[in-house]
């Protein structure tokens, strides 16, 4: 669940230019093309005591230990998390930051316990919503929500990126889904994400591969979390973002954006 917001945030924190920023082909507003995009996800739910669970809601994310009683409890990156058990096959997860709703996720188990469906809603600062539909297959565990769950079925819509010039040779990137802006110069240094929704310690550095392609390395508190490859189509109307998590050889997520 956190993976949705976290990777949307990463997608917005990406690029720098070796040419004058005002002429950089990445500049503009980009909207995700859901039919061409593919996101994968993995979650782990482990028992940690009576009505208590250790949740790992994204690869490489911190473990959050939560009592499933519906109350707001401390979560990662300054957020709070609540887990409400509606019945053995239905949970609702809510994440907030500074009292503002970030997301809700309604989990439903199939009758045979092998499939978990997640109806996810992310709330943007302006009150609009981002929705996504996940179907997970159980890869570990035998009953209930406890186990390891993998998904390759996510469909997502509504993500937009606004890319603007930053100083002489950099770019400033804002994401419609979170209150975070990345202003980055292409000089090999790590630059922090800024804004109320930016995870503390998230930085990025990059290199230009060629005129239409850049490679970005993201770190969280000094530890590499992922590498992003961004490539423009020859007509400069499409931007493809490929995300490879640290330690993986295959892309975890591919987001395709159309220029608006």
Domain boundaries, the chain: 19-36+159-259, 39-156
CA distance 120 to 112: 22
Give the three-class secondary structure for 11. Answer: helix
Alpha helices in 48-174 (DSSP H): none
Mean pLDDT per segment of 10 residues, for the chain of length 260 residues? 46 43 82 85 91 84 91 90 96 93 95 94 80 88 93 71 79 67 78 76 82 84 86 96 82 88
> Do strands 90-97 and 79-87 pair parallel, antiparallel, or not at all (unpaired)?
antiparallel
CATH code of 39-156, in short, is: 2.40.128
pLDDT of residue 59: 63
Q: 83 is written with which tokens?
A: 């887990």
pLDDT of residue 159: 77
What fold is seen in the domain 19-36+159-259? Lipocalin (2.40.128)
pLDDT of residue 19: 45
CA distance 11 to 33: 14
Read off the pTM: 0.65
With contact defined as beta carbons under 8 Å apart, do 174 and 154 qualify? Answer: no
């Amino acid at each position: 669940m956190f993976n949705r917001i976290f990777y949307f945030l990463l997608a917005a924190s990406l690029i720098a230019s070796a040419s004058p920023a005002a002429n950089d082909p990445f500049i503009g507003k980009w909207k995700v093309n859901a039919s061409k995009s593919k996101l994968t996800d993995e979650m782990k739910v482990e028992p940690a005591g009576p009505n208590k669970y250790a949740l790992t809601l994204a690869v490489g994310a911190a473990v959050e230990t939560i009592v499933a009683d519906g109350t707001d409890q401390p979560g990662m990156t300054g957020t709070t998390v609540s887990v409400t058990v509606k019945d053995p096959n239905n949970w609702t997860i809510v994440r907030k930051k500074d009292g503002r709703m970030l997301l809700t996720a309604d989990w439903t188990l199939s009758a045979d316990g092998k499939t978990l469906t997640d109806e996810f809603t992310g709330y943007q600062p302006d009150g609009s919503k981002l929705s996504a539909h996940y179907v997970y297959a159980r890869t570990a565990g035998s009953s209930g929500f406890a186990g390891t769950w993998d998904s390759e079925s996510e469909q997502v819509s509504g993500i937009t990126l606004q890319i603007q010039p930053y100083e002489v040779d950099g770019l400033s990137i804002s994401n419609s889904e979170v209150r975070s802006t990345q202003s980055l110069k292409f000089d090999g240094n790590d630059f922090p994400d800024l804004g109320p929704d930016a995870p503390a310690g998230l930085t990025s550095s990059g290199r230009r591969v060629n005129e239409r392609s850049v490679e970005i390395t993201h770190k969280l508190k000094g530890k590499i979390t992922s590498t992003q490859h961004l490539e423009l189509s020859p007509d400069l109307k499409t931007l493809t973002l490929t995300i490879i998590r640290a330690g993986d050889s295959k892309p975890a997520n591919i987001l395709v954006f159309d220029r608006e």
